Structure 1
Amino acid sequence: MHELELFSAVKANAGLDFLSPLHKVLTSHWYVMGNEVRSFENEFADYLGVNHCISVANGSDALELALKALNVQAGARVVTAANAGFYASSAIYAIGATPVYIDVDAATLTLCPKALAAVLDSSIAAVIVTHLYGQLADMEEIVRLSSAAGIPVLEDCAQAHGARRNGKPAGSFGAIACFSFYPTKNLGALGDGGAMVTDNHDMAARIRQLRQYGWGQKYQVTLAGGRNSRMDEIQAAILRIKLPYLDQWNEQRRFIAKRYNEAFFKFNVLLPCSMAADYVAHLYVMRLANRRQFINVLKQKGIKTDIHYPIPDYRQAAYIAELPYALTVTEHACETVVSLPCYPGLTGDEADRVITAVTAYFEQEG
């Protein structure tokens, strides 16, 4: 048996029973923020080694409410990267704040500490760090710089469930961290879902109010800026079933990525820089010239690719902004990135097809 197919067989024989928890929820007649939600919050907090997990309706709500929990006000300036799909920018704009875009590291494509150091001053209210494509950013240095300036760090972990460095997981470095459980994530629900995690008790209490109208108690609004953003019991029940398998599935993703790296390193292409525990291969992203031609060739061979992400946030039509400096790495990334299939359940034969097609393309290109 192909080693990758062995991974798939393990997944297929894992005995995941989704029907029983669904039946349990249906017969409980409690569908929102009940025992399944509380249990998942506790289990996910334990998995990350943090004090609090507060679930919400989706990852976008998590980002917006996290900024509010940090007391970021309208008109404030928030540092973020511009190559990560506009999700952080959307939250920043939603609260009336202003994004301060800085360049990313050329190897990891995550927030560059040197670029961060150049903009940190008293006008900055927060820093959002996206662990892009499953690659953990340089959190130790980012937190060191930000803490010295008295500025809180918000981790966007939507693509990095389970990533670790020196045993410390994504989501446990900053003042607060956000997760999405959209079905395509490394830990995905049956629909939308999100969460915030923190060690700060006061912040956790504030978030719990914000996710439910700002209530201090039922029907009494004591905190401004609240909304209805609650996880339902079905999503929590499914996430509870999946959570024990997350590390195993991440290993499968990493195994596929390692095979790709070993096959493609000799070509004129930039590949993911780490295959260690700090990378959980949410996406396998290469950077290459003539991207459109590459995509078309693979499409003709029945291999799906995608671009994550083609437009820098400051060039989005609804929010075009002129920057006082060039973001060279960001621009180059948006022009050259392309994602290959990489997910649990991809068979050995399917991975071989991808490797054969990509290798043939580069060999023909010379």
Structure 2
Amino acid sequence: MARSKASLKDIARRLDLSAMTVSRALSGHGSVSRKTKARILATARKLRYRPNMLMYGVRTGRTRTIGVIMPTLPTFFSHLLEGLHDELAEADFTMMLSWSKGHLVGGPDKDEGRFIHRLLEHRVDGIILQPTHDNAPHSYFQEIWNEGIPLVAVDRRLPNVKGDFVGTDDRAAGRIAADYLLSLGHRCLGHLAGPSGVTTAILRREGFEEIAASQASVLVAKAPQAGIQASSFVQPALDMLSQLQRPTAIFAWNDDAAYGAFQAATKLGLSIPRDLSIIGVGDLEVSRHTSPRLSTIQQHPNRIGRTAARMMLDRLGGKANLPPQSIEVPPDIVIRESTGPAPT
């Protein structure tokens, strides 16, 4: 037979204290003496006491749970989730996770609104999500605003929404790539651009062209509008590399697109990096398994996750009325064997 769960009253009865004193000690209230609190905590451990979070929620209006909506896509998000989880766990918060489809183009994921609704039904204290639709209007999240809980977007900005954001300094990622390729002597550069409606892709291209355009010629190629996989970038890269004045180096908006450039170079018999240098963004798993290994821009997703969690905890800790914040984590270059001096 399962052992019955100990309650606050059981602890109080064992120590001849009031249930209110026990409750205050277990919730960290400062009005209980250190000696009494130590006795209460020791007895709670001995009796295997576990707080009833349902009752805690009724009493305080808080569940110490944060709703999270993330894509199932690459290692970037697994590292971001790790950062979120660890930072929230250190503050004694639980993460309730829903997987989105991670669409990059088109309208919102049809499941996103349903997930938001379900998380709110579970009375989460806040929501952290990677949006599926950059151009979502403020009213798209009306259900969240009605509940008066904070929203933090990660990775993709929501320019039309008055909410917090934590992500990569994507414009800096483009600048770093351009500076590096120029330092290697490349003066004809290619860029495999991401979907036109995705802010991360737009900002990376802007940063790249800002630096490169004044010192080199830049050719830009895009995948078909719906294309986000590596295979979608093979033909655009082939077209770019088949031109009379082909680029000697390509900056791809992410590592998957860079892998598409690898495949195109192989089809054309180009040697990497002797004939063509390639650099991506993301430091995804694929970057370590190309041959040669892919140079890339590291986005520090674990740091993004921890920063987003701290931002959420700040909102819940008394900073709810401050203006929306936007934090961009600086990226760093990871130099591997896919980049080298411009061919002579």
The normalised TM-score by structure 1 is 0.32
* Greater relative CO, 1 or 2 (CA 8 Å, sep 6+): 1
